[in-house]
Amino acid sequence: MFSLDFHYEDVSRQDLLLKLNHANVMEVPGSCEIRVVPKAPYDFIIKNGKLAMEIPRGQKLIQTQRGSTGKSFRSNPFLESNKDKGYVSDLARQSTLRGHGMSNFSVRIATVMSLLDSPVEIRENSMQFSMEIEFCSFSPELEDHFEIFEHIIGFNVTIVTSANTQDETLLPWSGFLQKDEGETQ
């Protein structure tokens, strides 16, 4: 059993409501969305980035509509944003997972995170980490299309939660900070 599974089953799930003093399960912070962006040269992202993102996500990218100003006010360094202006790249905007796609990708992440040596940063209502190209070896559908991924250095992943504080985010996701030997980053 992976240490992340153990951590969830025997630590987090058992007393999540007690530790945060929640009256019911609906108050426990959950995942809102997962953003996945490939780390690659800009010209490659424009040419093959959309296809490369559709395969690991198991979900076709859709074109989203911008507001009349063309701005997004979310500022996230993993999403190739310009913090001063609040702009977010089109690929980053289109690479957001929700619903069934988010659930499938979460299972895949949980399976490999304790095996990969990737630093995890937990913030107020999100956690960010990089998944190197080694991630492809854990997914047969990625290995079958490796020619698409050979120029990608890895993926930047941001999991956005409904938490209000860093402590609320940390508790259900603290298993990501554990490595296979049970040590914490």
Which helix (H) or strand (E) covers residue 36, if one does? strand 31-39
Closest CA to 161 of 128, 126, 129, 130: 126
Q: 154: which 2 tokens? A: 């890895």
Rounded CA separation 120/129 (Å): 5
The neighbour count for residue 49, using CB atoms within 10 Å, is 24
State residue 66's pLDDT score.
47
Q: 25: which 2 tokens? A: 């399960």
Q: What is the architecture, at CATH level 2, of domain 28-61+83-177? A: 2-Layer Sandwich (3.30)
Closest CA to 176 of 24, 39, 45, 5: 5
Tell me which residue has tokens 């969830």: 8
- List average pLDDT for each run of 10 residues in the chain, which is 185 residues long: 53 52 63 77 56 56 47 44 43 60 72 72 86 70 65 80 83 66 51
Strands 126-132 and 96-97: unpaired
Say how many residues make up the chain: 185
Domain positions in the chain are 28-61+83-177
